[in-house]
Amino acid sequence: YTQAKALVFSKPGEPADVLSLHSHSISPSLPSSSVLVRSLAAPINPADINTVQGTYGAKPPFTSLIGTPEPSATPGNEGVFEVLSSSSSDFTKGDWVIPAISQFGTWRTHAVAEASKFIKVEKDGLSPLQVATVSVNPCTAYRILRHYGPNAGVKAGLGMRPLEVGSGEWFIQNGANSGVGRAAIQFGKLWGLRSINVIRERETEEATAALKQELEGLGADVVVTESQFMSREWRDQLAEITRKGREQIGLGLNCVGGKSATAIARSLGEGATMVTYGGMAKQPVALPVGLLIFKDIRFLGFWLSKWNEKDVEGRKHMINDILSLIRARKFRDVPVDEVKWDWDTEESTLRDAVQGGLQGFRKGKGVFVF
């Protein structure tokens, strides 16, 4: 028998209140076409925390499969596992796999699942952290940039058109320091787009300057602080960046909501698209009607889970494409805050790591490392 542990919750609530660590054992006789895996790394993404809180767009199934006293779910959308044994010919011992489905439940030391729930990853030249963080943040930035812009709509009239690689077109984003934001900066650079990136001011000027520099190092063309971006002077500064509007901003990426989202919308050119994918400020998006009527700006939402369901093959292709860029050192890792999880790790350590995951001004994304 394999001894395993999993973080579980049986009712929605604050992670610190509702998460518990459950021990169980896994039988050595695998069902047919199944795989036994051990975890290598699993990130703590904002969506996972929202899932525990019960505010996310999808609810995980609550089951008694691992013998919890009440039906429970294990959170965690992404991660990388090593195959320990397999009754499917698709996988062999030592392979690295990532979940093929949303809400797999990656916050656990081991898992048994049908082979179809996994995608094999070519592990050569990659670290567990790189593979564990590929399928949510980078894929979101990749999909949005590829599909929506920039300037989707302007040239093609009412329809959307795919990205013209190397067009030098501008996009603008808030939450530029997020995992998605950093990925968008890098893909933008690789694909010949130019980016304006909004970050929140740090505690000291030095720290703000250091973050700016870091994002410029990733390929950001312009980095501005939120206060600069919200000020009266921004209009003139933007005019300068866009050569008095001769170069329009065709795409806005909204990670934040609230006033920041309104300011993104005001920065866009005629016929541009604003894609909302996150709501970190927990504030609604308010839009001046003139932007809808006179500037014909399109406002859309994006949800990666839906895209993944609709385009399974496209997702695999995208993940392989991104992993190749990582191997070729053309795409840099997101800063992480490693949370060691071994057999003796206390429940409270794991719970606190999750609870802290939505706090701002962090040094990196929390990732369980096994």
Q: What are the residue numbers of the active site? A: 56
Tokens describing residue 211: 């973050």
Residue type, 80: V
Q: Candidates 26, 30, 230, 281: give the one binding ligand NDP (CB under 6 A).
A: 281
DSSP symbols for 88-121 = STT--TT-EEEESSTT----BSEEEEEGGGEEEE
Binders of ligand NDP among residues 297 to 326 (CB under 6 A) are: 302-304
Are the C-beta atoms of 164 and 251 separated by less than 8 Å?
A: no
What beta strand segments (E) does the chain contain? 2-8, 20-26, 34-43, 80-86, 96-99, 110-114, 118-121, 170-173, 194-199, 222-225, 249-254, 273-276, 298-301, 336-340, 365-369
| Cα atoms in the 13 Å half-sphere on the side-chain side of 18 | 18
Binders of ligand NDP among residues 79 to 138 (CB under 6 A) are: 136-137
Number of residues that bind ligand NDP (CB under 6 A): 25
Q: Minimum CB separation from ligand NDP for residue 59, in Å?
A: 16
Q: Is 180 in the site for ligand NDP (CB under 6 A)?
A: yes
Q: Minimum CB separation from ligand NDP for residue 162, in Å?
A: 19
Q: Minimum CB separation from ligand NDP for residue 246, in Å?
A: 31
Please choose, out of 212-220, 246-254, 277-285, 316-324, the segment that lies near ligand NDP by the rule CB under 6 A: 277-285
Q: Candidates 35, 39, 46, 268: give the one binding ligand NDP (CB under 6 A).
A: 46
Q: Minimum CB separation from ligand NDP for residue 287, in Å?
A: 18
Q: 178 or 355, CB closer to ligand NDP? A: 178
Q: Is 360 in the site for ligand NDP (CB under 6 A)?
A: yes
Strands 34-43 and 80-86: antiparallel
From residue 344, how far is each of 109, 120, 367 by CA, in Å?
12, 29, 17
Q: Candidates 4, 5, 37, 45: give the one binding ligand NDP (CB under 6 A).
A: 45
Q: 4 or 180, CB closer to ligand NDP? A: 180
Q: 119 or 256, CB closer to ligand NDP? A: 256
Please choose, out of 99-107, 175-183, 189-197, 324-332, the segment that lies near ligand NDP by the rule CB under 6 A: 175-183
Of 206, 262, 213, 207, whose CA–CA distance to 234 is shortest? 262
* Residues in contact with ligand NDP by the rule CB under 6 A: 45-47, 136-137, 140, 175, 177-180, 200, 255-256, 277-281, 302-304, 360-361, 365
